Chain A
Amino acid sequence: MTKEECKQVVLEIIEEIAPDEDLEGLSHDVRLRDQLDLDSMDFLDIVMELRKKHGIEVPEEDYPKLASLDSCAEYLTPKFNAVKAGA
């Protein structure tokens, strides 16, 4: 999986948990929280959807790594690839 594909997966999850948000034109290097109305409950859902849909575990101390789309891609892409390789 590429970083771009990884961002797409994250965006799909956000779209599912916050269908009332407009995801067009998001800056990839800016914190999601600063561009969208997402609170800690929503971030919990992102983490849980990653586990449920993709078998990816994000320990609580790593939540800050999900701050922006860029940082998500940085942190999650290797995890996606590890899961794929393991499967």
Chain B
Amino acid sequence: MGGRSLKPHYDAIVIGCGMAGLAAGIRMAMFDRTVLVVESHNAPGGLNSFYALEGRKYDVGLHAVTNYVPPGAKGTPLIKLLRQLRLRREDLDLCPQRGSRVAFPGVDLHFDNGFASLGESVASAFPEEIDGFRALRAHVAACDPFDASAPVLSAREVMGRFLRSPLLTDMLLCPVLYYGSARENDIDFDQFVILWRSLFEEGFARPHEGVRVIIRALLKRFREVGGERKMKCGVRRLHSEGARVTAVELEDGTTVTADAVLSTAGALETEALCAAPDPAARSPAPESGRRLSFVETITVLDAPPADLGAEETIIFFNDSERFHYERPEALVDPRSGVICFPNNYDYGDRSLDEGFFRVTALADYDRWAALGSDAYRAEKEAWYPRLQESALRFVPGLGMDTVRAHTRAIDMFTPCTVKRFTRHIEGAVYGSPRKHRDGTTRFDNLFLAGTDQGFLGITGAMLSGISMANRHVLSRG
């Protein structure tokens, strides 16, 4: 950065300065590999970055850092991550949630960090299912989601062996799918196991100053170990000869070479950068499912949400008989979604300067992308209150009038925003429904990490970067 010139050759080049790219870069640079991280956007963070608008700081995505465990816990993904990156727990300033809820018509499931409240909540709302629920939990605990030889199963099918109630099944799936399924209405069982643990057995936290704390910690570490970054200059092409990527051409025309290239841009996105197109990829096989994206509304309030009647951290809501996690036949599907009040974490004696109220819902990229700029603006304006209104039905303490009276500023993003800032095809937040678990590609020295490798979310993306760097670069001597 800062005009420093690039070396002609690196041990490894990483495409993308998001969570996965930075984590991979740190690992490789830590062990004396020369590493260049290349990012097309001017800001680091990717799908979970931050920005300022009219003097106010916003997080792009962050509702919750999953996988929260209290100090002293052992062997969980968060602990592994800290160790592998040699970060201190304090560096991430993780403050635990106050309590969350899954809200369906007439039934609520409450959950908190650690499992106890969810268990109690299921026992009281679904007494006839509690044995099945406990057996499901035991089954999840016994599974090894990293066993590559295990067959890929549908989570719904496996849950069906333990639970009779489609309502309970939908209620448990709602947070799991929203926080990490690239597939419509279901998720692979191994991913379900990872997410179940990260949401229900472990839990939610947030740094007091939001995602920038995590990004800053990663950047600092990356600098300390000698990594280099090139920002605001994407990779234009990957040149290859036979089964090897031989050169990386940047958008400013520079060409650099590397022994290994790790891409966090996505599988098809990366294929599209390859100068010699794969004949098989030219007419891409259907991806066995449509890509999913979201809209999000952000409302800045002049008071903490708790003072206005909303004390919970995250609420996953659905108003219909069945839960539909699918690409909507409309711009937005307001029937279900996720509400987040970032103020409602336990920040100790600190608090946020303003109140925040965020709502996420499924959206259709094609419909948003087809709008002209006036229509796009008009639709945003129309959907903002509709989505808020839909969500507030599930926050009994907080009415639309109160929110209106206390609103200081608003923002909203659509699948087009996600596409613009991260280049993910169709603004797909969780990437392609098809994952590439081993991270390999048709080139011997090009590997995938992050979104399309398999693990999702902030913690998942970092672990993906770490494990792909370990496996494909560091273990190879």
Contacts and interface: CB of A to CB of B under 8 A. Distances in A.
Whether chain B is bound by chain A comes out as: yes
Interface in B435-477: 466-467, 470, 474-475
A14 to B, nearest CB: 11
B464 to A, nearest CB: 13
Interface in B55-82: 72, 74-75, 79-80, 82
Given A48-B474, A60-B475, A41 B80 contact: yes
B79 A39 contact: no
Interface string A1-38: 00000000000000011111000000000000000010
Given A17-B86, A18-B83, A48-B31, A37 B75 contact: yes
Nearest to A42: B83
Contacts of B83: 17-18, 20, 41-42, 45
Q: Which one of B31, B72, B83, B88 has the greatest number of beta carbons of chain A within 10 Å?
A: B83
B84 interface: yes
Given A20-B79, A45-B84, A48-B31, A37 B474 contact: no
A44 interface: yes
Contacts of A39: 75, 80
Nearest to A16: B86
B475 A52 contact: no
A84 to B, nearest CB: 21
B32 interface: yes
Contacts of B75: 37, 39
A53 to B, nearest CB: 11
Contacts of B72: 20
Contacts of B79: 20, 37
Contacts of A52: 31-32
B74 A37 contact: yes
B281 to A, nearest CB: 33
B74 A44 contact: no
A75 to B, nearest CB: 18
A42 B85 CA distance: 11
Nearest to A49: B31
A45 B83 CA distance: 10
B24 to A, nearest CB: 14
Contacts of A44: 470, 474-475
Interface string B406-419: 00000000000000
A16 B32 CA distance: 17
Contacts of A16: 86
Interface in A53-74: 60
A54 to B, nearest CB: 13
Contacts of A41: 80, 83-84, 466-467, 470
Interface of A: 16-20, 37, 39, 41-42, 44-45, 48, 51-52, 60
Given A20-B82, A41-B83, 8 more contacts: A17-B83, A17-B86, A18-B83, A19-B88, A44-B470, A51-B31, A52-B31, A60-B475
8 contacts: A20-B72, A20-B74, A20-B79, A20-B83, A37-B74, A37-B79, A41-B466, A41-B470
Across the A-B interface, give the 8 residue pairs with the lowest CB-CB distance, nearest first. Answer: A37-B74, A48-B31, A37-B75, A18-B83, A52-B31, A44-B470, A41-B84, A17-B83
